[in-house]
Structure 1
Amino acid sequence: MNLALLDKVRRQLAAQSRPGDPNRRTRGSAKADIVKALRDTGTAPPDRDSLLQLSSALSDDLIGAGPIQALLDDPAVTDVVVNGAGGAWVDRGEGLRPAEVRISAETTRALACRLAAAAGRRLDTGSPYADVRLPDGTRFHAVLPPIAASGPYLSFRTHRSKAFTLAQLVEADTLSADLADLLLRIVKARIAFVVTGGTGTGKTTLLASLLSAAPATERIVIVEDAAELAPDHPHTLTLESRPANIEGAGEVDLAALVRQALRMRPDRIVVGECRGAEVIELLGALNTGHEGGAGTLHCNAAADAPARLEALALPHGLPRAGLHAQLVAALRVIIHLRRTGSGRQVAEIAVIETGPTRAGNLTVAQAWTRHGPGPAAGVLERLLRERNA
């Protein structure tokens, strides 16, 4: 991109904008403003196609993600990362692959600082990392040198505004038809569940699809660090956490938001990703009449979910016996995803069981896999029958 032209258009946009407008522009409205700025400065190409092409490129550089915006616009892309001198990589569902994009360290740093500033966050040597949500919902994280040894390092997680249906997930081989029917019964039965898996396994995608299947009469309150869940449901509300400001004040964490959600007459409370003290609040909510709640959790296998929940809850004062009692009383179903050579797939559905007494050690028993029923299929079926599902 011609830097002189970019600077000229930027100054013209600033001159014709009201205070605060540049940070609120969408890419669509920006293109119209850029066309006007090009014409006002006498730099507009004579033919329409060239003008539109130039305005689109300028829009990417002014408010989009610059050289990698085209990757983010690809509907098959879930993640884009820039590894400083290591170049850009893109994930289209088959793991990260090198992208045919060349971006210098200087351009990468300027892009990171601009995107962070547009979201109201500081990113510089004194504050060398930032985690923000871009206007289109894309999750953006950046780390600058010297923290990033050969950086800057950028990470983008794309946001899709519409959830997949369960039928589409079956078509994509994320689910088998039998598993899709079983998951639909779990949702309709209002059994609380957690979706587990590693990074990039499709936990948020599956959770959004399952919430889309909830009855339209229900009110779903979603609590997230960054708004990513977008279920196709007519009555969903999202509460988004807020980090502390530069002075260290004003933080609103997920645990506080779960408490607020309880006061909003929810039929279901959903935590986008369980990471800490909010686990205690969520389990408490599920044990006080708020059935059908859900969340996602990072772990390597369904059997690891109780240990992972212990690691999150115990440092915040909930004893192990209390956690186990709450789990078996409210959160009985685990849906685990894995990445395979053919894409993201639901590997198993498991149920949480307890020992001879409610204080006994928890076990996670496999109820279903992609290949059919497992040893605990009867336990899950009994839970569904108890709820007439």
Structure 2
Amino acid sequence: MATEAELVVELRGLVAGQMAAHAGTGPMPIAERRRLAERYTADVLDAHAQQAVARGDAPLSAQAEARVSRAIVDRIAGAGGLESLLGDKDVENIEANGCNNVFVHRTDGSYERVSPIAESDDELVELIRAFASEAAIGDDEKGTGQERTFDRNNPVLDLRLRDGSRLCAVMSVSARPSLSIRRATMIEANLNDLVGRGMLSAGMAEVIQAAMRAHLNTIFAGGTNTGKTTFARAAARAIPVTERLITIEDAYELELYDPDVHPNVLAFQSRRANLEGVGAVSMSALVRTALRMRPDRVVVGEARGDEVIDLLKAMSQGNDGSFATVHASSSGQAFTRLMMYAVQAPERLTFEASAMLIAESVHLVVHLDWTPDRKRVVSSVREVVGFDGRDVASNEVWRPGPDRRAVPNTPLRAETLDRLEAAGLRAATIERIGW
């Protein structure tokens, strides 16, 4: 008698054949595809049960039939071998270097190798193309018009999955087709939730929440996967519900809209040129567009190009309380990064002009890092106090401790503390921090 795994392979081929005969010329909406897969799977399982009875064999139990059905439908109309991983809220990142060399990072910092997500590299490519087809349908419905081709001529694919996760896949430029998925986790977390996870102290959380209410312009910096977006999103939950926020990203990740917390959010996503080389919309152009749409605050996810100048101008010209995320290995390096983007922009600012613009625009830099035991933490907070030639002058009010966790260092300036206290920071909190 065939095992469940062998039966899944056998019956999936029958269902796939029926699906292929039914398919039209264009991509099928995911809901319709799943409905058909469920119907055809039920049909082949009924036929299999009738054949088993005719032979005098016992049919599958209800539990076994449910498992086989779910495996077939997931492979054909869902996310295949990724379905269970995408359904696991503790899985944060998925990395597949080929169909059978798969690793996951979990929210508790653990890391492990898991079962193959496809039976062959060719099947992995087809799975990725199914994701692309679903995204293409969504783009058509939204009118965004993104190209979603994945083949030897278009070997890099970057898209957003239906659950908000980000997928990047490659083929031809690597030995095997591969993908990386960054899950959208802790969407509704606030800074108090992050305190509970040990990411920062309660006192620091109160300071940053007050900084958000006091409209201090902030840069959230850190290395890859240190939690910049999660932290920025959590900090933003301290912003008053009455404010209008406009976000600009290369790929939707911030997800600030919340009908109760942030009901007035407009989210922009940049667009690459299509196969004909037209239709591109840059982050910089979107920042300028955002400023014409009456934002209270402008938010830039992953600032790394020309848009930095427009963001800094917005911060210094009335859109106080704006913020951005930036890749940097330290809080001090965040200034260097911003300056490099500014001097390379079409405006060609000098280093001196860039330092002055940053000093006039940014109030705080919050840097995130990893502890030696791979826990995400806030490692440093800097207050900008001015500029000196090519240098942005700052005080490191929290500095990295022995395990990279931030420890109190230099006190905030009196004028900054006054703004924070006016925004609700308690004097008892300042005393407890121990500057």
TM-score, length of structure 1 as denominator length: 0.88
Q: 1:85 to 1:351 in 2, by over 3 A?
A: same
Task: Report if aligned partners of 1:160, 1:230 keep a CA contact under 8 Å in 2.
Answer: no
Following TM superposition, by how much is the alpha carbon of 1:138 offset from its aligned partner in structure 2, in angstroms?
Answer: 1.3
Counterpart AA for 2:353 = G
Following TM superposition, by how much is the alpha carbon of 1:237 offset from its aligned partner in structure 2, in angstroms?
Answer: 2.1
Q: Which of 354, 361, 364 is 2:391 aligned to?
A: 361
Instruction: Report what 1:298 is aligned to.
Output: 327
Could you report, residue by residue, the CA deviation over 1:239-275 in whole angstroms, capped at 9, with x for unpaired residues? 1122211111111121111122112221111011102
Instruction: Report what 2:11 is aligned to.
Output: 5
- Once residues 416 and 384 of structure 2 are traced to their aligned partners in structure 1, the CA distance between those partners, rounded to angstroms, is 12
Task: Report if aligned partners of 1:80, 1:89 keep a CA contact under 8 Å in 2.
Answer: yes
Q: Which of 35, 40, 43 is 1:37 aligned to?
A: 40
Task: Report if aligned partners of 2:30, 2:134 keep a CA contact under 8 Å in 1.
Answer: no
- Trace 1:157-306 onto structure 2 (pairs within 5 A): 157-160=182-185, 162-231=187-256, 232=258, 233-306=262-335
Following TM superposition, by how much is the alpha carbon of 1:228 offset from its aligned partner in structure 2, in angstroms?
Answer: 1.0
Q: Secondary structure at the match of 1:78?
A: strand
Percentage of matched positions with identical amino acids: 32
Q: Which of 355, 370, 379 is 1:347 aligned to?
A: 379
Counterpart AA for 1:114 = A
Q: 1:337 to 1:259 in 2, by over 3 A?
A: same
Instruction: Report what 1:383 is aligned to.
Output: 416
Instruction: Report what 1:116 is aligned to.
Output: 132
- Once residues 245 and 221 of structure 2 are traced to their aligned partners in structure 1, the CA distance between those partners, rounded to angstroms, is 20
Instruction: Report what 2:152 is aligned to.
Output: 125
Q: Secondary structure at the match of 2:412?
A: helix
Q: 1:43 to 1:275 in 2, by over 3 A?
A: farther
- Higher-Rg structure is 2
Task: Report if aligned partners of 2:96, 2:102 keep a CA contact under 8 Å in 1.
Answer: yes
- Once residues 17 and 221 of structure 1 are traced to their aligned partners in structure 2, the CA distance between those partners, rounded to angstroms, is 40
Q: Which of 167, 187, 193 is 1:140 aligned to?
A: 167
Q: 1:360 to 1:342 in 2, by over 3 A?
A: closer
- Once residues 303 and 67 of structure 1 are traced to their aligned partners in structure 2, the CA distance between those partners, rounded to angstroms, is 43
- Once residues 250 and 269 of structure 2 are traced to their aligned partners in structure 1, the CA distance between those partners, rounded to angstroms, is 6
- Once residues 91 and 303 of structure 1 are traced to their aligned partners in structure 2, the CA distance between those partners, rounded to angstroms, is 28
Task: Report if aligned partners of 1:186, 1:384 keep a CA contact under 8 Å in 2.
Answer: no
Instruction: Report what 2:52 is aligned to.
Output: none
Task: Report if aligned partners of 2:356, 2:387 keep a CA contact under 8 Å in 1.
Answer: no
- Trace 1:18-97 onto structure 2 (pairs within 5 A): 22=28, 24-26=29-31, 31-40=34-43, 42=46, 49-50=63-64, 52-84=66-98, 87-93=101-107, 97=111
- Once residues 199 and 271 of structure 1 are traced to their aligned partners in structure 2, the CA distance between those partners, rounded to angstroms, is 16
Q: Which of 119, 122, 138 is 1:106 aligned to?
A: 122
Could you report, residue by residue, the CA deviation over 1:156-186 in whole angstroms, capped at 9, with x for unpaired residues? 0112373212221111101111111111111
- Once residues 53 and 85 of structure 1 are traced to their aligned partners in structure 2, the CA distance between those partners, rounded to angstroms, is 22
Task: Report if aligned partners of 1:31, 1:56 keep a CA contact under 8 Å in 2.
Answer: no
Shifted more, 58-67 versus 285-294: the winner is: 58-67
- Once residues 305 and 69 of structure 1 are traced to their aligned partners in structure 2, the CA distance between those partners, rounded to angstroms, is 38
Shifted more, 252-261 versus 154-163: the winner is: 154-163
Q: Which of 329, 335, 348 is 2:360 aligned to?
A: 329
Task: Report if aligned partners of 1:267, 1:290 keep a CA contact under 8 Å in 2.
Answer: yes
Q: 1:8 to 1:364 in 2, by over 3 A?
A: farther
Following TM superposition, by how much is the alpha carbon of 1:289 offset from its aligned partner in structure 2, in angstroms?
Answer: 0.6
Q: Secondary structure at the match of 2:273?
A: coil
Task: Report if aligned partners of 1:109, 1:152 keep a CA contact under 8 Å in 2.
Answer: yes
Q: Secondary structure at the match of 1:362?
A: strand
Q: 1:34 to 1:110 in 2, by over 3 A?
A: closer
- Once residues 271 and 41 of structure 2 are traced to their aligned partners in structure 1, the CA distance between those partners, rounded to angstroms, is 38
Gaps of 5+ in 2: 50-59, 137-147, 400-404, 424-435
Q: Secondary structure at the match of 1:281?
A: helix
Task: Report if aligned partners of 2:41, 2:73 keep a CA contact under 8 Å in 1.
Answer: no
Q: Secondary structure at the match of 2:248?
A: strand
Could you report, residue by residue, the CA deviation over 1:343-382 in whole angstroms, capped at 9, with x for unpaired residues? 11111211223346xx56213421124554322x232x52
